[in-house]
Amino acid sequence: MRKVNFLLVVALVALLSGTVLAQGVPVDIPGTGVNFFLYRYEGQTVPYDKIDTIWENLSKAFQAWVDGGQQQDALSGEDVHVKGHDIYVKDQLILTVDQYHADANKATRAQLAEKWAANLRKGVDAFVTTNIVR
* pLDDT of res. 1: 58
* pLDDT of res. 21: 57
Residues found in the chain? 134
Q: Tell whether the model's pLDDT for residue 41 goes beyond 70.
A: yes
The domain locations on the chain are: 23-131
Give the N- to C-terminal CA distance of the chain in Å, as an integer.
72
pTM for this model (two decimals): 0.82
Please give the mean pLDDT across all residues of the chain. Answer: 87
Buried/exposed code over 83-99 (b: 16+ C-beta within 10 A; e: otherwise): eebebbbeebebbebee
Cβ contact 120:87 at 8 Å: yes
**Segment 100-119 mean pLDDT:** 97
Per-residue pLDDT tens over the stretch 15-33: 444 444 579 999 999 889 9
